[in-house]
Amino acid sequence: MLNKLIRFIDATNQSISSMVSWLLALMVLTMFCIVVLRYGFNIGSIAVQESITYMHGLVFMLAIAHTLRINGHVRVDILYQRWGKKGQAIVNLLGSLFLLLPVCAFIVYISWDYVSSSWSYYEGSREAGGLEGVFLLKSLIPLMAFLLFLQGLSEAMKSICTLSEKQ
Amino acid sequence: MDGSIALWMFGAVFIVLLMGYPVAISLAGTALVFAFAGDYLGTFDSAFLEALPNRLFGIIENDTLVAVPLFVFMGVMLEKSNVAESLLENMSKLFGTLSGGLGFSVVLVGMLMAASTGIVGATVVTMGLLSLPTMLKRQYDPALACGTICASGTLGQIIPPSIVLVLLGDVISSAYQQAQLDMGIFSPETVSVGDLFAGALIPGIVLVILYLIYLAGIAFFKPSACPALPVEETDNSLYLNLIMGLLPPLILIIAVLGSIIGGIATPTEAASVGAMGATFLAFLKKQFSLQQLKVVAQDTTQVTSMVFFILIGASLFSLVFRGFGGDELIEELLSDLPGGVFGAMLVVMLVMFLLGFVLDFIEITFVVVPIVAPILLAMGISPVWLGIMIALNLQTSFLTPPFGFALFYLRGVAPASIKTSQIYRGVLPFILIQLFLLTLLAIWPDLATWLPTIIYGN
């Protein structure tokens, strides 16, 4: 049961992360096209320019959770690296419970009104001809926190498993 | 409100960080605990936290920071297509027959690669894996070899287009705005990432030249520490290979840097050209495939989300820090120092140097610089000079035993026969060179500010 939940969370965040990494490749290409069109042909489009912001936001906000799983977030590892598997599991368990989960819950809570007021009038771009999805872009904030919350649960459960293993 | 709670929070976060939980969450989590406790005890107004969603959205919307994933993409692509390897191989063939020649090649390749990746860890590890075995085999003094590799690897901080300069540029630019508004200037001057790139160029090149002079000195006075390679029969194909290996990355870097410094393109635009150029280069080297693209894109995504997550954690931390009146406290402390601007700058530099043992450049940029930079800038310090001083200072910190990051990275890939004390001994002369340049820059700020003034006027 627990294992199933861990696997489900990990797989979800992994597939989101690999989806957005293709988006990153698309972003590189789009940005290059913008440059070519602007400097070569003097053509510019606010909507295309803004799509860069959307892709960029999607990429880094939604990949944060998976980056946690593969241990891609920097740590100060002067002591951490010497603490052995169990010691590290304790750090990760305590960190998940007392730092990560509260922070994620708090971000969802504090951004709720901010995002829902944006949804209430389907907030669009400030620029004429821009993309009309600012409310979606703002929704990335609680969504990021939600996905990270799930990943934090998964990591906490994994730490418990490590700790309960026999020597 | 008593600002000293803010300092306690700084102390607390330091201890939490040392436990080794990811930095971004440690910053945010500790700040949150303090905010809740302060709210409960009535020393903290939780209205400060209401600003958080807007701050976070500001990070998503920030146009300058879009350059980060693009530069990372360019760096990862160059790394995965083995540009550095063939560069180093060809260069050491060219210089290798001179005493100290191998060291020269390491510094020059380090400079070129640094300019294109800007990630310290990556450069030190790559150079350590590629050149340390060769240098040892050729009877180089192990200490000298290690020192050269570490120092060359950290060049990525200072030589543009380094990613940390992009981040630093963004932070310093908003600090500069704030400082001027505080002084009652309502049409503030701006400072851009391009200014910082231009400012870093001369100090960076001077640094490389100083490294080379040191190596030349060793080669002259103590040739046994860096013997020449035996002369192989050189044919013309070597020069052709070298040029073919050297030209493409060189053109790429000059194009990216030139268009930014020349004011033709924004860093983001230039970075996208760099990213596509690196992809094209990989294609020419027959290293490009869909699989390769996938790996590069995934690595880039991870590095990007790591960087931005620190920014997210740091913005919660600095909100709470402000809420406790920490910025006013720091301002008081800094302006009460004897020695005025000089004293304040010296203390900030020393503190950053020490913090550099524990935190890396990105964290210091996001956590410490926003607190101290507006105060220093309000004292009339030039923003470009401040940025380059910070960069150079942290680069020195990363080289300094026993905690310098570069040393850890090299230790990780160096063979066990190398003693850690040899690594320490080897970097020592390079640290002296760093301190020399830092002093030089402190005495003549023009070293950093001259080029941006020439290019951009004012």
Output the pLDDT for position B344.
87
Output the pLDDT for position B386.
92
Average pLDDT, chain B: 83
Output the pLDDT for position A24.
94
Contacts of B359 in chain A (CB under 8 A): 76
Of residues B401 and B53, more confidence is placed in B53
> Given an 8 Å threshold on Cβ–Cβ distance, is B272 in contact with A28?
yes
Q: Residues A129-136: what's their mean pLDDT? A: 83
CA distance B5 to chain A (A): 19
**Cα–Cα nearest to B68, from B387, B369, B300, B297:** B300
Q: Which of B51-55, B225-229, B412-416 has the highest mean pLDDT?
A: B51-55
Nearest residue on chain B to A82, alpha-carbon basis:
B20
> Given an 8 Å threshold on Cβ–Cβ distance, is A60 in contact with B69?
yes
Q: Kindly tell me if the per-residue pLDDT of A87 is higher than 90.
A: no
> Given an 8 Å threshold on Cβ–Cβ distance, is B272 in contact with A24?
no
Task: Say which DSSP state B443 is in.
Answer: H
In this structure, which amino acid lies at residue A35?
V
Q: Kindly tell me if the per-residue pLDDT of B238 is higher than 70.
A: no
**Testing the interface with B: which of A32, A38, A83 to mutate, by most B Cβ within 10 A?**
A32
Given the cut 0.90, state whether the ipTM is greater than it.
yes
**B262-303 confidence digits (pLDDT tens):** 778 888 888 898 889 888 888 888 878 888 899 889 988 988
Sign, CA torsion B35/B38/B40/B46: negative
> Given an 8 Å threshold on Cβ–Cβ distance, is A141 in contact with B53?
yes
Q: Which of B20, B265, B275 is facing A91, going by the closest CB pair?
A: B20
What CA–CA distance (Å, rounded) separates B372 from B272?
Answer: 32
Of residues B57 and B453, more confidence is placed in B57
Q: Residues B108-116: what's their mean pLDDT? A: 73
**A36-83 confidence digits (pLDDT tens):** 888 888 888 888 888 999 999 999 999 999 999 988 887 777 788 788
Output the pLDDT for position B214.
92
Q: Residues B313-336: what's their mean pLDDT? A: 83
Beta-carbon count within 10 A of B380 CB:
9
Q: Residues B241-246: what's their mean pLDDT? A: 73
CA distance B78 to chain A (A): 15
Q: Residues B243-256: what's their mean pLDDT? A: 78
Output the pLDDT for position B116.
59
Token digits of residue A130: 């821009």
**Residue that the structure tokens 């400072």 belong to:** B191
What CA–CA distance (Å, rounded) separates B283 from B276?
Answer: 10
What CA–CA distance (Å, rounded) separates B66 from B317?
Answer: 23
Nearest residue on chain B to A101, alpha-carbon basis:
B29
What CA–CA distance (Å, rounded) separates A142 from A126?
Answer: 22
Q: Residues A152-158: what's their mean pLDDT? A: 91
How many helices (DSSP H) and strands (DSSP E) are in chain A? 6, 0
Average pLDDT, chain A: 88
Of B148-157, B186-195, B238-247, the one with minimum mean pLDDT is B238-247
Q: How far is CA A84 from CA A163, A167, B402, B411, in A?
A: 11, 12, 22, 19
Beta-carbon count within 10 A of B339 CB:
10
> Given an 8 Å threshold on Cβ–Cβ distance, is A99 in contact with B301?
no
CA distance B244 to chain A (A): 25
Of residues A94 and B160, more confidence is placed in A94
Q: How far is CA B305 from CA A5, A60, A149, B165, in A?
A: 24, 4, 16, 18
Q: Are B189 and B176 contacting, i.e. CB atoms less than 8 angstroms apart? A: yes
Output the pLDDT for position B2.
60
**B174-195 confidence digits (pLDDT tens):** 888 888 888 887 777 888 888 8
Token digits of residue B336: 């009460």
Q: How far is CA B101 from CA A159, B129, B230, in A?
A: 50, 18, 12
- Apex CA A62: angle with CA A60 and CA A66, to 5°? 100
What CA–CA distance (Å, rounded) separates B178 from B166?
Answer: 19
Of A63-67, B130-134, B426-430, the one with minimum mean pLDDT is B130-134
Contacts of A137 in chain B (CB under 8 A): 57, 60-61
Token digits of residue B142: 């192990």
**Cα–Cα nearest to B211, from B429, B448, B445, B440:** B429
Q: How confident is the model at residue A102 (pLDDT cuts 50, 70, 90)?
A: very high
Q: Residues B65-76: what's their mean pLDDT? A: 85
Contacts of A119 in chain B (CB under 8 A): none
Q: Residues A93-116: what's their mean pLDDT? A: 93
Q: Which of B50, B301, B307 is facing A24, going by the closest CB pair?
A: B301
Q: Which of A17, A63, A73 is facing B22, going by the closest CB pair?
A: A73
Q: How far is CA B400 from CA B151, B198, B359, B411, in A?
A: 10, 27, 14, 13
